[in-house]
Structure 1
Amino acid sequence: MKQALRSSEAAERMPDGATVLIGGFMGVGSPHRMIDALVARGIRGLTIVANDTARPGLGIGKLITAGAVARVITSHIGLNPETQARMLAGEIEVDLVPQGTLVERIRAGGVGLGGILTATGLGTEVEEGKQVIEIEGRRYLLELPIRGDFALIAAHRADYVGNLEYTLTAHNFNPIMALAADTVIAEAEAIVPVGVIPPDAVKTPGVLVDHLLGRAA
């Protein structure tokens, strides 16, 4: 059985300066209780890896507003004017990565690959400072893998051994991020006995999950 934590307990285990992978898309399918707990803890200096920084007052946007983030590796900040303002003021470093490339870099970090080859970004600012490899007459960028100290995952249901089931938008980044972090913390809408989740519905096996947060945690 996995160790169950309250969100405040999980937040206390995360040090300032950690690299944190956070699932979701514009705040949907994101681990909101863990985000709120990190804001309440007053954490600082985080590197956040996520699809986007949501909006002020929503999801990762709360961490931006709280001054908890030093760097973001992301695909989109266009709907969060506070992220943009802090970037222009030099308060946050922003690494913009094409969405598909971001997903594959995280996947590479999760399965132990040395990187991925992609043509996306050739001839643009994305190419600057990166190795270009030619294979059979075609040029590709070498994109390096991404791993985190922690991954914060949002699931629909978890069972007692940490198997996770997702619904809707939570299917996007959460399962991939669960592969690519040293410590995986999953919050679920419900924690159920083993066997309740159909085997075909398990998208993240419990062996990848370190800690669970129940609905009231």
Structure 2
Amino acid sequence: MNKVSAGAAEAVADITDGASLAVGGFGLSGVPEVLLRALYAQGADGLRVVSNNCGVDGRGLGVLLAAGRIARVTGSYVGENKEFARQYLAGELEVELVPQGTLAERLRAGGAGIPAFYTPAGVGTQVERGGLPWRYTAEGAVELASPPKETREFAGRRHVLEHGITTDFALVRAWRGDRHGNLRFRQAAANFNPLAATSGRVTIAEVEELVEPGELRPDEIHLPGIYVQRVVTLTAEEAADKHMEKRTVRV
């Protein structure tokens, strides 16, 4: 039951080229930075990533992206990452853009063993009809586009069929965790982290504070340890190394 790894490098050592990864975080909040840096050092290539966004230039998934180690991204937001946009438009990266709520539910469904579900999100758009560019050529033409989705009517309203997502690995960050893998997330870090964690066949969690089993009350646990296979304890410096996409001040 002791799931604590010796360090981040050991925890990500068996992630192979071409592996699929669900990665928690939203913007730069709750991003498993230490595990991502360890994966960068480990050298895995051709990764297929599922995450709300791809970090920013030089932070989060942006580190792997800049190194050309990500082959495909399933996400909902390109956002502040200029290299992400450049690679996508240059035909170097395959990108499946998904409505944000749909992406969250696809991860949740995969983790719950639900193969597919119907949703009204995207009805009447290219999400339903197909044709969203997944990959461009170097010349800017669409090389690969999304297929049309199955639809069905419920209570007089049309819905599209979306498939649950499962991945080979999941990388998440938690505020507190115990040796059994029970996790508690804090504030905005409780975004895509619990959903990503459930969808991974092997889930690796970096935790800012490691506590002993029993110190987390049952009603404090956001993610039961059954979903977590490995726990990495952060140093005080690693736990405090938090960045934001944009700083806004009042003049």
Supply the distance in 1 between the matched residues of 2:99 and 2:6 (Cα, whole angstroms). Answer: 34
Question: 113-122 vs 90-99, which deviates more?
Answer: 113-122
1:134 aligned to which of 153, 161, 170: 153
Task: Quote the residue 1:121 is aligned against.
Answer: 122
**CA deviations over 1:93-124 (Å, ceiling 9, x no partner):** 00000000000011111111121211111121
Task: Quote the residue 1:98 is aligned against.
Answer: 99
Task: Quote the residue 1:2 is aligned against.
Answer: 3
Task: Quote the residue 1:213 is aligned against.
Answer: 232
Question: 172-181 vs 142-151, which deviates more?
Answer: 172-181
Secondary structure, in 3 states, of the residue corresponding to 2:198? coil
Task: Quote the residue 2:136 is aligned against.
Answer: none
**CA deviations over 1:26-76 (Å, ceiling 9, x no partner):** 121011000101111222111110011121011111111111100000000
Task: Quote the residue 2:63 is aligned against.
Answer: 62
Letter in 2 for 1:157: R
**CA deviations over 1:142-177 (Å, ceiling 9, x no partner):** 001111100101001111211111101111111112
Task: Quote the residue 1:30 is aligned against.
Answer: 31
2:176 aligned to which of 152, 157, 162: 157
Letter in 1 for 2:95: V
Task: Quote the residue 2:218 is aligned against.
Answer: 199
Secondary structure, in 3 states, of the residue corresponding to 1:27? coil
Supply the distance in 2 between the matched residues of 1:68 and 1:145 (Cα, whole angstroms). Answer: 25
- Structure 1 portions without partners, runs of 5+: none
Supply the distance in 2 between the matched residues of 1:153 and 1:5 (Cα, whole angstroms). Answer: 17
Task: Quote the residue 1:179 is aligned against.
Answer: 198
Question: 37-46 vs 70-79, which deviates more?
Answer: 37-46
Letter in 1 for 2:60: G
Supply the distance in 1 between the matched residues of 2:19 and 2:196 (Cα, whole angstroms). Answer: 15
The aligned length equals: 217
Partners of 1:54 and 1:80 within 8 A in 2: yes
| CA positional deviation for 1:78 | 2.5
Alpha-carbon RMSD across the aligned residues, in angstroms, is 1.2
TM-score (norm 1): 0.96
Whether 1:41 and 2:38 are equivalent positions in the alignment is no
Task: Quote the residue 1:12 is aligned against.
Answer: 13
Partners of 1:118 and 1:141 within 8 A in 2: yes
Supply the distance in 2 between the matched residues of 1:209 and 1:5 (Cα, whole angstroms). Answer: 16
Partners of 1:25 and 1:51 within 8 A in 2: yes
Secondary structure, in 3 states, of the residue corresponding to 2:153? strand
Partners of 1:5 and 1:212 within 8 A in 2: no
**CA deviations over 1:69-90 (Å, ceiling 9, x no partner):** 0000000002111111101111
Supply the distance in 1 between the matched residues of 2:24 and 2:54 (Cα, whole angstroms). Answer: 11
Letter in 1 for 2:170: A
Partners of 1:2 and 1:161 within 8 A in 2: yes
The percent of aligned pairs where both chains have the same amino acid is 43
Task: Quote the residue 1:110 is aligned against.
Answer: 111
Secondary structure, in 3 states, of the residue corresponding to 1:4? coil
